[in-house]
Amino acid sequence: MRRLLILLVGWLVAAHMTAQVSFGKAEKMNDEWRFLRIDSAWNIAERDDMKLPDFDDSKWRQVRLPHDWGIELPMSPDKGSCQGYLTGGIGWYRRTLPYSAGKDERLFIYFEGVYNYSEVFLNGHLLGKRPSGFASFLYDLTPYLNKDGKNVVAVRVDHSQEADSRWYTGSGIYRNVWLVKAPKVHLAQWGTAYRLCSIDKKKAVVEVDVETTTEEPVTATTQLKAVVTLTDATGKTVATTKTTLGPKAKKTVKLTVRNPQRWTLSSPYLYTLTTTLENGDQSQVKAGLRTLQFSPDRGFALNGEWMKVMGVCLHDDAGVLGTAVPKAVWQRRLQELKAIGVNAIRMSHNPHAPELYDLCDELGLLVMDEASDEWEFPKRKWMKGWNQGAPGFQGTYTYFEEWIDRDVADMVRRDRCHPSIFMWSIGNEVDYPNDPYSHPVLNGNGSDFTQPAYGGYKPNQPHAERIGRIAQRLAKIVKEIDSSRPTTGALAGVVMSNETAYPEAIDVVGYNYTESRYESDHQKYPRRVIYGSENRHDLAAWKAVRDNDHIFGQFLWTGIDYLGESGVWPARGSSAGLLDLAGQRKPNGWYRASLWLHQPMCYIGTYPVGPQREGSRQNNRRSYWVSPYADDVWNYRDGQSVRVVCYTNGTDARLLLNGQPVAQTAQYDEATGIRYWDVEYAAGTLRCEADNGASYEITTTKAPAALRVTTDSVAHVFIEVVDEDGRLVKGADNEVTLMVRGARLLGMENGNIMDTFVAGRQQRSANRLRVHNGRLVAYIEPLAKTSEITIHAHSPFLKSAQLQLSSK
The model's pLDDT over 720-739, given as tens digits with 9 standing for 90+, comes to: 999 999 999 999 999 999 99
Q: Which long-range contacts (CB under 8 A, 24 or more apart) does 699-705 make?
A: 699/634, 699/727, 700/634, 700/635, 701/634, 701/635, 701/725, 701/727, 701/728, 701/729, 701/730, 701/731, 702/727, 702/729, 703/729, 704/729, 704/732, 704/734, 704/797, 704/798, 705/798, 705/799
Burial of 83 (0-12, 13-18, 19+ CB in 10 A): buried
* Candidate from 13-17, 230-234, 396-400 with smallest mean pLDDT: 13-17
Cβ atoms of 510 and 475 within 8 Å: the answer is: no
Q: Is the peptide bond before 796 cis (omega within 30 degrees of 0)?
A: no
Contact 271, 230 (CB under 8 A): yes
pLDDT tier at 44, thresholds 50, 70, 90: confident
The pLDDT assigned to 450 comes to 65
pLDDT at res. 220 = 65
State pLDDT tens for residues 595-605.
999 999 999 99
CB 412 within 8 A of CB 361: no
DSSP H helix total and E strand total for the chain? 9, 47
Lowest-confidence pick of 13-17, 756-760, 779-783:
13-17
Q: Report, as an integer, the average pLDDT of 796-806.
A: 94
pLDDT tier for residue 170 given thresholds of 50, 70 and 90: very high
CA–centroid distance for 276 within its chain: 33
Does position 449 have pLDDT exceeding 80, yes or no? no
Which letter, b or e, does each residue of 582-605 get, where b requires 16 or more Cβ atoms within 10 Å of its Cβ?
bbbbbbbbbbbbbbbbeeebbbbb
CB 248 within 8 A of CB 263: no
In 327-361, which positions are buried (b, 16+ CB within 10 angstroms) versus exposed (e)? ebbbbbbbebbbebbbbbbbbbbbbbbbbbbbbbb
471-494: pLDDT as tens digits? 999 999 999 999 999 999 999 999
Q: How confident is the model at residue 614 (pLDDT cuts 50, 70, 90)?
A: very low
Q: Give the residue-averaged pLDDT of 762-767.
A: 62
Three-state secondary structure of 270-313: CEEEEEEECCCCEEEEEEEEEEEEEECCCEEEECCEEECEEEEE
pLDDT at 7: 47
Q: How confident is the model over 190-229, as pLDDT tens digits?
A: 998 889 999 999 999 999 999 999 988 877 678 999 999 9
Residue 761 pLDDT: 53
Write down how long the chain is: 808
Work out the widest C-alpha separation in the chain, in whole angstroms. 91
Rounded distance between C-alpha atoms, residue 293 and residue 300, angstroms: 6
pLDDT value at 456 more than 70: yes
Q: In this prediction, what percent of the chain has a pLDDT beyond 90?
A: 85
Mean pLDDT of the 680-704 span: 97
The string of pLDDT tens digits covering residues 634-674 is 999 999 999 999 999 999 999 999 999 997 889 999 999 99
Q: What average pLDDT does the segment 548-575 reach?
A: 96
Residue 388's pLDDT band, with cuts at 50, 70 and 90, is confident
In whole angstroms, give the CA distance from residue 773 to residue 706: 15
> From the centroid of its chain, how far is CA 298?
28
Region 334-357 average pLDDT:
98
pLDDT at residue 765, as a whole number: 56
